[in-house]
Chain A
Amino acid sequence: MPKPAKPQIASANDLLEGHVLYLSGDAVWTPDRHSAFVSTDADELGALADKASRNRQVVDVAFIDVTVADDGDPRPVALREVIRDRGPTIRTDLGRQADHTIQDGQARNV
């Protein structure tokens, strides 16, 4: 029996700047995780990622497991992805957690 598919979002890093990006439902790579497109279908995510990558060069595309909060916010499951999303746990002054331009609403998930 096939395992029930887990909800996932697509992530990548920006080629030129290196920062973390997520894939939105309208096929755009964006720093905003809250607008990331959640899917249980890897093929669907893959096709969307290919489309988005034509407009923005990214590297290391990976699908990561999330849980979806009541308000629809997709939250990474693995500690690695949580840290990648926020920044180093030992330097909360660094990384996305310290960048208020991309962290609007981030407080919801801390």
Chain B
Amino acid sequence: MPVVTPDGFRASDNIAYVSPDALPAGSDLAVDMPNDADPRTLVERFGDIATIRIAFPAFGDGRGFSLARQLRDLGYTGHLRAGGNLISDQYRHARQSGFDDVEIDDALAERQPEEQWIVREQRSYREKLAAR
């Protein structure tokens, strides 16, 4: 399964994800987060989490974008990954919502190859409007 990064496709790292409902002790955790989870429950453990993967069950279901923003707003600075059914046209939304990369399946990678994921350089209105 390829992962789409700002530098292009790369092979997925085989991370063992855990559920956010039962975080084990320890650090360097990777959390697999459904898109109806409450990110506030993780705040105490942010320091122990290296990666959070937010699920996109369908590309038309945009909850994951808000969850990503909430996690960033709550102070999460670890790796943030979108997994599931995003299409290349949503890559800019993912990046601007705070995701580091997007994990896609092989079939989609074949249908929408790397060059279709390259975002045309574009500032968002969000940046334009932000106070200096």
Q: Do A and B share a direct contact in the complex (Cβ within 8 angstroms)?
A: no
Residues of B that sit less than 8 Å from A by CB? none
